[in-house]
Amino acid sequence: MHNKNISGKHYIDGHFIQGQGKTFTSINPATLKPIWEGQHAKPAEVQAAFEAAKHALKLWQCTSLETRISHLQNFAKHIESKQDALAELISIESGKPYWESCTEVSAVIQKVALSIEAFHVRTANQAQGQEADKQCLRYKPHGVAAVIGPFNFPAHLSNGHIVPLLLAGNTVVYKPSSHTPIVAEFIVQAWHESGLPPGVLNLVQGGAETASTLLDCPIQAVCFTGSYQTGLHIHQKLAAKPWVLTALEMGGNTPLIIDERIDNMPAAIHHIVMSAFVTAGQRCTSARRLLVPVGSIGDDLLEALIKATSKLTIGSYDSTPEPFMGPLIHPNQALGALQKVESLLALGGEALINMTRIQPEGGFLSPGIILMDEVTAPPDEEIFAPCLQVYRYQSLDEAIALANQTKYGLAAGLLGGDAKTFEHVYRHIDAGLINWNKPTTGASSALPFGGTKCSGNHRPSAYFAADYAAIPVASLEADKLTLPESIVPGLSLEDEIA
């Protein structure tokens, strides 16, 4: 084990439990060496985690808001005291450069204060009228919630569900990605050491079968971040249970439009690179399609982009100097991405820069740029890798039409132009996040985060996670039982009144 506190166990009812299922390992994607060993949770272990959460719910939902907030703040302080260790674990297990892992840890810490603020802003109790005739709004927890997390932000994105769910009074069974079990266990260990009551948060390790078993439990909510295919499976599995709240944040095929008016070429190149290649292209908001105007401006931009992309440094997080990006999460993902790029080239794509495997084995890929002008029917898929497809356009409306030629609708961006141009793009492009003169991978936890079409089911997270973490309950109330001033026709209460 990399960390003496990381044990390769499940966490059920306040105890770390040695699993009894089939063994699996987590590897360092840079070295391919095993760094963790644990067991897939067996159905009985998943059921035990659910029962622990169900039992803890009785007390947790009745715990005062002030006490729940105190537990969350203790967790944030605990993470802050161990932020360097957590950042290193994220880099070791996910392959991210250390600088990027540090930004993720900061987001984990900041999530607590932002969630508390969002809870008060978006789910505060309300009351109108007098004591004899009040209209009230209060919020109740769903119950036991399942959180199914991704590998690309193994700490931040799962935490983005867990914190608002716990704050609202829910209890949680957490199933992280099987690629990043160490980070999940570290996070749960931090909750444990922060004094969270037993059963409020439970951890079951494993793959798709573990997640499926969890969804078979009588849970009341599911929060998922990951691919469209997995999100669709969750949706279909719960189709006969419409009472189960599902918050699905899925993939994207993000377009980034370059306007003809670029007054700062270095800034444009920086934003394109950060949009397409940060995290080795393993973000759901990564720019997959770059829409470039025909003409000299577009030609100059592509020439500068190719030059800057060719200079990007790639390596392990502990390399010197520190790299811009690391490997993909697993060698299989790298092979799959290379095969998809080969398919694009076979359809007529032209490699302006070839995406290639840097080592004979492993997940290190050099970034690739493909000109797609000769491809008539490009596949609408998310290549979760550092691959950018370039399309040339004649008019802004043509660029918008190209941008919308996807089943996804998570993020989009515009570089250049003026406020009128952005307003036009904003009104006509299909996406839940639309950035102007910013990388598409930039997002604020103080705003909602979610997409349209196949990218989500209208349950945006981040600041708006408060909305799906609790049930709004309306009440008409009076402090005394009284008759109305007038009785409706056809109803006689004379005998009762006498």
Active site residues: 249, 284
Instruction: Tell me whether residue 175 is exposed, middle or buried, using C-beta atoms within 10 angstroms of its C-beta: 0 to 12, 13 to 18, 19 or more.
Output: buried
Look up residue 467 and give its two tokens. 């909305």
Look up residue 31 and give its two tokens. 């070295």
**DSSP SS3 for 336:** helix
- Taking the C-alpha atoms of residue 435 and residue 437, their distance in angstroms, rounded to an integer, is 7
Selection from 358, 378, 363, 390 nearest residue 287 by Cα: 390
- Taking the C-alpha atoms of residue 94 and residue 328, their distance in angstroms, rounded to an integer, is 8
**DSSP SS3 for 279:** helix
**DSSP SS3 for 45:** helix
- Taking the C-alpha atoms of residue 453 and residue 430, their distance in angstroms, rounded to an integer, is 8
- Taking the C-alpha atoms of residue 308 and residue 299, their distance in angstroms, rounded to an integer, is 14
- Taking the C-alpha atoms of residue 30 and residue 53, their distance in angstroms, rounded to an integer, is 36
- Residue 11: phi and psi, rounded to 5, are -125, 110
DSSP states of 192-253: HHTTPPTTSEEE---SHHHHHHHHHS--SEEEEES-HHHHHHHHHHTTT-TTSEEEEE----
Look up residue 457 and give its two tokens. 């089911």
- In the block, residue with structure tokens 């993000």: 254
